Amino acid sequence: MALKKPVYLDHHATTPMDPQVLDVLERTQRQFFGNPASGSHSFGWSAEALVKKARLQVAQLVGAGEKEIIFTSGATEANNIALLGIAAASPQSQRTFISTHLEHSSVEGPLKHLEKQGFKVTRLDHDKSGIINPEKLSAVLNDETLLVSVIAAQNEIGTVQPVKEIGQICGAQGVLFHCDAAQAAGHLDLDVRALGVDLLSLSAHKIYGPKGVGALWVNRKHPPINMAPTSFGGGQEGGLRPGTLNVPGIVAFGEACRLALLQRDKEVQRLRSLKNRLLEQLKEKLDGIHLNGAAEPRLPGNLNVRFEDIRAGQLLPRLTVLALSAGSACRSGDTSPSPVLLSLGLDTLQAASSIRIGLGRFTTEEEVDFAADRISAAVLKLRAENP
């Protein structure tokens, strides 16, 4: 069978919808168009039942209760609801957030907004491998700390943070802990109780579901978490995310979560093997190649590598047969060096020499071998042209 081109290797930006998920989405769109808030007829009842089932499927992926899931338009909205909602309900005595230099823009953006409103944000440093030391968190926690927000797995360099240890520290101090798990879902065991998380953000399109749907898990603990709504309307989703629910998207999201949980362990092993195969081939064919971020713990399908004497802006146009990126899709069009790569201690030229490769559920060995050949050939040719 001929290799289908171009080869998609940008799964951290988004994932193709799983055929089973697509079937569920299309069937729901055709057959169950009712509004789940319409409680007076069967069309509404059917839609409500499907949403309830999906809520349970999403909850099961993270070890939560179904009533704790709030559906959103994606992880960006979930992050905004969590951070801005907690801030809006905060007492005057607690006006400090603690986060990191590794966060996605949908966390960093709200935090910068809150700083302009008078809140204090402390950002923890990480080591040169891109890992946070939990002891640094212990050193800065105090009575003024309102919430800690740490990404579970970094979207550019794939490094996995010590979420459980951070959760234990926050729990011992009685501080709320929010985690952006958009990239981690489907790859890591995200048992929210065991991790000690209070709020957790998810995105469907990162786990082979549709775009435009995600979720925020909010721990139903006692006393309850005090959050204020940041938008207003019909009062859906506990008043925290009003608006008519995207039933087909939510149902497809539920199916994506079911498949992710079912396939996770085998898929993690497969992706890790493919990633190692690709990196080994690149190192065999090329000198001057370096991995950005820790080799482990790392997302199983993530490679962020830099090539000496090469610029990503020169390399990627020669690799149109491969879908790759120079960094986060949310920074597309921004030609400045990645702040995450700079935070690892790389200089601007090293950061500009880096590309991100994201392997996924449908990536094959044949595609990995093809990518290794094309990338190495392009790098060697560029070096020959610009000695």
Task: Tell me the CB-side half-sphere exposure of residue 125, using CA atoms within 13 A.
Answer: 6
**Is residue 1 domain-resident?**
no
Do 324 and 240 belong together in one domain?
A: no
**Is residue 103 domain-resident?**
yes
pLDDT of residue 1 exceeding 90, the answer is no
What whole-number percentage of the chain has pLDDT above 90?
95
Residue whose pair of structure tokens reads 């212990």 in the numeric block: 138
DSSP state letter for 3: P
Mean pLDDT, rounded, of the chain: 96
Q: Is 179 a catalytic residue?
A: no
Do 255 and 302 belong together in one domain?
A: no
Do 253 and 300 belong together in one domain?
A: no
Do 163 and 205 belong together in one domain?
A: yes
Nearest of 197, 206, 175 to residue 63 by alpha carbon: 197
Of the residues 234, 259, 284, the one at which a domain ends: 259
Q: How many domains does the chain have?
A: 2
Do 217 and 348 belong together in one domain?
A: no
Do 98 and 213 belong together in one domain?
A: yes
Do 251 and 180 belong together in one domain?
A: yes
C-alpha span between 251 and 346 (Å, rounded): 43
Q: What is the CA radius of gyration of the chain?
A: 22
Do 54 and 128 belong together in one domain?
A: yes
Do 214 and 280 belong together in one domain?
A: no
Instruction: Give the CATH number for residue 78.
Output: 3.40.640.10
Segment 326-379, tens digit of pLDDT? 876 565 556 678 999 999 999 999 999 999 999 999 999 999 999 999 999 999
Segment 296-333, tens digit of pLDDT? 999 999 999 999 999 999 999 999 999 999 876 565 55
* Catalytic residue from among 170, 179, 257, 330: 330
Q: Locate 145 and state its tokens.
A: 């700390």
Nearest of 213, 211, 244, 243 to residue 230 by alpha carbon: 243
**Is residue 213 domain-resident?**
yes
- Secondary structure of 257-322 in the HEC alphabet? HHHHHHHHHHHHHHHHHHHHHHHHHHHHHCCCEEECCCCCCECCCEEEEEECCCCHHHHHHHCCCE
What range does the domain containing 357 cover?
Answer: 7-16+264-385
Do 316 and 167 belong together in one domain?
A: no
Segment 130-183, tens digit of pLDDT? 999 999 999 999 999 999 999 999 999 999 999 999 999 999 999 999 999 999
Do 98 and 216 belong together in one domain?
A: yes
Do 40 and 111 belong together in one domain?
A: yes
Question: Looking at residue 360, what is its pLDDT?
Answer: 98
**Is residue 81 domain-resident?**
yes
269-273 long-range contacts, CB within 8 A, separation 24+: 269/300, 271/187, 271/300, 271/301, 271/359, 271/360, 271/363, 272/300, 272/301
Residue whose pair of structure tokens reads 């400045």 in the numeric block: 336
